Amino acid sequence: MTLFVTIVIVIAYLSLVVELIFFPVPSVASTYQLAYQPLTSTKGSEMKGELVSVRSWSALKKIFLLIVPALLNVAVFLLPIGFLIFPLFLQKMFPIFESSTWVLGFGAALILLGRFLTFSSALRIRTENSQEGDDFHLHDDSIFRLSRNPILLGMYIMVLGLFLIFPSIIFGLGILFYMVYMHFKVLLEEDFLGHHFGKPYIDYKTKTRRYL
């Protein structure tokens, strides 16, 4: 792996930490919201639809279907950092196929593109509203005209780039698991937004793709 690719990976993770600490975008379908928040209200809105169903799950079901998958996803995201810090140890546990120079470069480009898309989308949301209390509205302009979920799309692009750099079977399976889990949460958010905004959101769904 080249020094440039290593620097790109480090910058990507540092920017992710900055985003999560200083510019987090709250979600009604976050693991914390689903597992611990009451059913009464979220973001100033009464809970309806599938969110009520999921939040009504038993504690045991929440542990196995929400909390454990979330922890596994964290492990998936930490794996590339582990490959950088403990390459010999982790590559024995999770063998990596060799990538050509151009594949490494393309992977680094995808990481940068993904982080730019996610970070810029998060900044756009947080500069327009705090998403606290009733300060919560539909975003359907700018980058959100191209994708209803540009933040998550950017994350998908980033992990694809990481997979090209660290093409491990286990890592690939972990990425697929992450995408399935996040898609489940996206569907919950869409159900909430449909109840919350009504026709404006239905029209937005008709005009704009979920991802790309």
Decide if 31 is inside a domain: no
pLDDT score for 74: 96
Q: Which of 71, 209, 75 is nearest to 153 (CA)?
A: 209
Residues in the chain predicted with pLDDT less than 50, given as ranges, are 42-44
CA distance 113 to 190: 25
Number of domains in the chain: 1
**What is the distance in angstroms between the CA of the first residue and the CA of the last residue of the chain?**
30
pLDDT score for 75: 95
pLDDT score for 43: 46
Decide if 102 is inside a domain: yes
Decide if 7 is inside a domain: no
DSSP calls for 167-180: -BHHHHHHHHHHHH
Decide if 43 is inside a domain: no
Q: Which of 183, 164, 49, 62 is nearest to 111 (CA)?
A: 164
Decide if 139 is inside a domain: yes
Locate 28 and state its tokens: 């009604």
Decide if 76 is inside a domain: yes
CA distance 46 to 55: 13
Q: Give the domain extent around 76.
A: 49-207
- What CATH number has the domain bearing residue 54? 1.20.120
pLDDT score for 39: 63
Token pair 């680094």: residue: 108
pLDDT score for 127: 79
Decide if 28 is inside a domain: no
Under 8 Å between Cβ of 122 and 149: no
CA distance 45 to 101: 51
Cα–Cα separations (whole angstroms), residue 62 to 35, 55, 56, 179: 6, 8, 9, 19
Decide if 14 is inside a domain: no
pLDDT score for 33: 87
Q: Which of 28, 57, 79, 16 is nearest to 188 (CA)?
A: 28
| The dihedral formed by the CA atoms of 22, 25, 26 and 27, expressed in degrees to the nearest 10 | -150
